[in-house]
Chain A
Amino acid sequence: MSVRRRIQAALACVAMLAVAAVAIGTAPTSDDLVSPFYVSGASGEPVQTRTLTAEVQGARLAQTLDVSANESLAFSLDLLETEQTWVVVDARLEARIASVSLSNTRLRIAGVEYRAIDYLPAPTLVNFIGDPGIPFEGSFAFEVPTAVLESDGAAHAELVLRSILSSQLDDIAVVDIDLAGLEVRDVEIMRPAEIAESRE
């Protein structure tokens, strides 16, 4: 083989190694390959994923939660106070294909996720299971540091509607909520989750 052919072969090898390095460097990680698809929408309008239609009807802030409308023999308190702030998010949800539970729902503010509290007397949206074609309404509650709600991030909060099941390669609804400037009331009432009757 001539010197010229050898140089050509060497250059071809270097070029292929460079392409391989770029391919490896830009390839998605194994987590990326199965990551969920986030479907975003605004508060007050329906957000539709493969399995769910969700509409956030509003958000409220309070020092004390009134849970007396919910029924539970195991829960004796009617009022729950916090040294921080309760964020109550009211929503209407409807499963599209099969039963849906959103017990892993989070409120995301400035990259930090706050889990919806699940120890309130049932039924709340956290422990309610919805079936296809049957809309249900109620509230999620989150306990959030007051300082976080006074930060710039509060204007761009996101409700992340997650099932307890794995959401790999499936949709997750994310609803933008503006919590900035909302009045912190002394008491807000937690709406029990229930099936929304049609208006026919």
Chain B
Amino acid sequence: MSWLGRNRVALAVIAVCVPALVGVLFGFEVLSRDSKATEIVTVAADDSVEIAGYTWRLTENVEIAGEGRAVNDIPLGTSIVAALVEVTPTGDSPSDTTCDVSLTSRSSGENLSWRTVGDVSVYGYGRLADTSSFCSLNGEPFELELVFLAPNGVYDSATVEFSLGDSDAIYRFRLND
């Protein structure tokens, strides 16, 4: 009997087991990555979007260029970017969710992000009355006032980015179209 004939059973076992082992080791990982893929939704400057039972609309935004601390409290080379976002419940909206917010730009080829400024008075910025700086959804309508400090030029290509709770989706509001 030839070598192949004598070892046919062993070869058949290898032919089945090796691909099965590779599948078990890497297949689940690949599948779970696909299922966790982040959905990115881009919203035009004058548009609104429904997220988690609320309607979100970016109503206003502005760039205040830094003229130096001695002039307008904003360092040279930087700008204050401020945005107002109207958040309105659509009906039976959940009331125990918070969201993460950042200013982002991809014009350099990388996904750069800036966090909101905590103490805006440092940069001579005064918040509007009746706006919120904290993104907390409590079932009531509110206006979110977001303030960022970013390098000059970022505003032209910037988006305000939201992600809610455990959701894998990211919502990007364009400041300029």
Contacts and interface: CB of A to CB of B under 8 A. Distances in A.
Given A133-B150, A133-B151, A198 B114 contact: no
Contacts of A199: 76
A200 B77 contact: yes
B76 A99 contact: no
B76 A197 contact: yes
B145 to A, nearest CB: 19
B75 A131 contact: no
A99 B76 CA distance: 19
Contact of A97 (B76, B77, B111): B111
Interface string A188-200: 0000000111111
Interface size class of A (residues with CB under 8 A): 10 to 19
Contacts of A197: 66, 68-69, 75-77
A99 B77 contact: no
A32 B162 CA distance: 36
B149 interface: yes
A200 B149 CA distance: 18
Contacts of A131: 114-115, 149-150
A196 B76 CA distance: 8
A132 to B, nearest CB: 5
B113 A134 contact: no
Contact of B78 (A96, A97, A129, A195): A195
B177 interface: no
Contacts of A132: 112-114, 151
B73 to A, nearest CB: 11
Contacts of A134: 75, 77-78, 149-151
A74 to B, nearest CB: 16
Interface in B88-116: 110-115
A164 interface: no
A133 B158 CA distance: 14
Interface size class of B (residues with CB under 8 A): 10 to 19
A131 B114 CA distance: 6
Contact of B75 (A97, A99, A129, A195): A195
Contacts of A96: 110
A21 interface: no
A98 B112 contact: yes
Contacts of A200: 76-77
30 contacts: A96-B110, A97-B110, A97-B111, A97-B113, A98-B112, A98-B113, A99-B114, A99-B115, A129-B115, A131-B114, A131-B115, A131-B149, A131-B150, A132-B112, A132-B113, A133-B112, A133-B150, A133-B151, A133-B154, A134-B77, A134-B78, A134-B149, A134-B151, A195-B75, A195-B78, A197-B66, A197-B69, A197-B75, A198-B77, A200-B76
Closest 10 A-B residue pairs measured CB to CB?
A198-B77, A133-B151, A197-B76, A195-B75, A197-B75, A132-B112, A98-B113, A131-B114, A198-B76, A99-B115
Interface of B: 66, 68-69, 75-78, 110-115, 149-151, 154
Given A134-B150, A195-B78, 11 more contacts: A97-B112, A99-B113, A99-B114, A132-B112, A132-B151, A134-B149, A195-B75, A197-B75, A199-B76, A200-B76, A200-B77
